[in-house]
Structure 1
Amino acid sequence: MTTITLTGDTFARTIADQDIVLVDFWASWCGPCRMFAPVFEAASAEHPEIVFAKVDTEAEQALAAAAQITSIPTLMAFREGVLVFSQAGALPAPALAELIEKVKGLDMDEIHRSVAAQQA
């Protein structure tokens, strides 16, 4: 699967409707973003069961602000609608592959219990 573009209108629905979503916050002027883009695209081809999405922080400034993006690239991973990873900086391919496996292996029942306890 190729990457999709998220906007303020599609972000929340995509996160809620998909099991695993990886989101790359980027900008065209950002060198590290351009270096990470082919790594992200290659991973999307290897994992068609995962949604790989990109948010252009220049075009979607309100969305980037709402996500508290202060440095790009920033990669976020969502599983069952829960933010489970957020880190600024371009990941090398092996680190991205390791992250994907960790996200797939999460005990979501435990995470949902933890989120519920924090909200209570």
Structure 2
Amino acid sequence: MLKHVSFLTRDLAATLAFYKRLGGAVEKNLTTAEGFRRGVVRLGEGRLQFFEIQGETPTPHGHWAEHVALHVPGLHSLLPELRAAGVTVTRDLQPSPGGRDMAFVLDPDGRQVELLEGGL
């Protein structure tokens, strides 16, 4: 069973806000004993964990195959809202191989996020 996936971020507040907009619930937003800013977002049963790294630049790979995939309700209305908020859409709304509508966007650190219509 997957506990979480962990990533680096340049801006923890922006990253947590982005995933909250996609239906996530922020569970943790704190400073660790080692002095790192850490955030955890719950998405269904899974978790995304982010560590803010000051002075370092995370370098996520921009290829679509490396991505986070999320089920989101109301993708047709969410996508224009994300665009209006300045989120980059890298693959516009289209049917997924499984038949659900999907789109790809970039999170604040340039990670590919696949958005699939519907709940879990």
TM-score band, normalised by shorter chain: under 0.3
Instruction: Compute the TM-score of the two structures, normalised by the length of structure 1.
Output: 0.26
The structure with the largest strand share of the pair is 2
Higher relative contact order structure (alpha carbons within 8 Å, sequence separation ≥ 6): 1
Instruction: Compute the TM-score of the two structures, normalised by the length of structure 2.
Output: 0.26
